[in-house]
Amino acid sequence: MKTEPILDVRDLEVAFATDQGMVQAVDGVLLQLRAGEILAVVGESGCGKTTLARTVMRLVEPTGGTLRFRGRDVSHASRRELAPLRREMQMVFQDPYASLNPRKRIGQIVGAPLRLHSGARGAEVQRRVRELLELVGLAPEHAGRFPHEFSGAQRQRIGVACALAVEPKLIVLDEPVAALDVSIQAQIINPLDDLQNELGLSYLFVAHDLSVVRHVSERIAVSTSASSWSLRPRRSSTRSRSTPTRRRCSRRFRSPTSARVAGGRARSWQVSRRTPSTHRRAASFTRAADTRPASAGGSSRRSRATRTDTSRRATTRAA
C-alpha cells in the first residue's frame, strides 16, 4: 500500500514586489517528501533554496501552486489554522548566532516551545529541557548559560533541541552546517542522522555542499535557477561530475584544505597544488640582483649574496 507523502509541493511559486517590479524567487517547484525520509535541496547561491524552505514553513506566503502537509492544503491557511500544525513542522535556521535570543538562558529558549504548545510548567519543563540537551549531546548544566558562551556547533545543537521539543513530524534544516567550520560539521550531521533513525523524523535538508548531501540524503531536489528544479536519486546527483550545477557547487568548496563528511566522521583531504609562484618571484629577484651595477668597495657582491640567500629561503619555505 502506497503511503501518502508527509509533504507535497506542486508548482509552487513565490514572487516579491520591488521598485523595479516583481521578482520571481521560486517558480514551478514540484517535490514530495515521504514519512521518515531525508530529501535534500541542492543548488547554487541565489537559486531560491532558503525561500523554498521558509515557504514550506509558511513563514513566506506563496503566490501560486499548492502546498500540502499530511494531506491538508496549507498554501493559504490563516495564522489560526496554522497554529496546531506548528507542533508537527519545525525549522532549524541557517545562522546559529542570530536564531537564539542573546538575552535569555538556554533553558528558557529550549523550554519556550514546551510552554507555548504543550502547556508544560515548572519542574516538567526543566526535566524535558535536560532530556533534550542530553539528546543533542549537551550537558544538562548548560541550561543555565547564555548563547554567547557556546561555540557555533553547540548553538546549532541548541537550535535542533528547540525543534525537537514539541516532537514534530517534519524538520526543515536550512543549511545547518553552512556557517560552521568544515572540521566540526560532523558534530551536527552525525547527531541529526542518529535522531532521524531513532525518532523516524522527516528532513527537508537544504544545502550546497555535495559531500554533506551524499552522507545524509536519500533523494535530492536540484535547482539551477528559480524556475529550474528536478528530483533525482542521490547517486545520480552526487556522482555525476558533468552537470553545470555539480561543477559550480564543487568550485565553491575547492580549497587547499577541505573536508567531507563520510563514514560517520569528518575526513580531511588535500588538493594537489600547482608549482608555487614564489619560485618564479625568487628567480627573477636573483637575476635582477645579478645585473645591478657594482658600487664601490665590495658592497655589491655582499648585496647580491644577501638577496640570493633570501631568495633561497623563500623557495625553501614555498616547497
Shortest CA distance to 205 belongs to which of 56, 84, 70, 13?
56
> Mean of the pLDDT values across residues 73-91?
91
Arithmetic mean of pLDDT, 50-77: 93
pTM beyond 0.75: the answer is no
- Residue 109's pLDDT band (boundaries 50, 70, 90)? very high
- Which residue, chain included where needed, has cell 633561497? 312
What is the band of 138 on the pLDDT scale with cuts at 50, 70, 90?
A: very high
pLDDT greater at residue 67 or residue 252: 67
Strands 170-174 and 257-262: unpaired
Residue 315 has pLDDT above 60, yes or no: no
Helix/strand/coil (H/E/C) assignment for every residue in 134-203: HHCCCCHHHHHCCHHHCCHHHHHHHHHHHHHCCCCCEEEEECCCCCCCHHHCHHHHHHHHHHHHHHCCEE
pLDDT over 70 for what percent of the chain?
69
Higher pLDDT, 259 or 130: 130
The pLDDT of residue 187 is 78
When pLDDT is averaged across residues 289-296 and rounded to a whole number, the result is 45
- How much is the pLDDT for 117? 83
pLDDT for residue 232: 59
Mean pLDDT of all residues belonging to the chain:
75
Separation CA 98–CA 75 (nearest Å):
27
What is the structure's pLDDT at 313? 56
User: Which carries the bigger pLDDT value, residue 124 or residue 257?
Assistant: 124
The region of weakest confidence among 62-66, 86-90, 109-113, 245-249 is 245-249
Query: For residue range 144-166, what is the model confidence (pLDDT) as tens digits?
Result: 999 999 988 899 999 999 999 98
- What is the separation, in whole angstroms, between the first and last Cα of the chain? 63
pLDDT at 27 over 50: yes
Cell of 64: 501560486
Measured CA to CA, the distance from residue 44 to residue 32 in angstroms comes to: 21
Q: What mean pLDDT do residues 219-229 have?
A: 69
The pLDDT tens digits of the residues spanning 275-291 come to 333 333 333 333 444 44
178 or 255, which is more confident: 178
Sign of CA dihedral 174, 180, 183, 189: negative
User: Would you say residue 108 has pLDDT above 90?
Assistant: yes
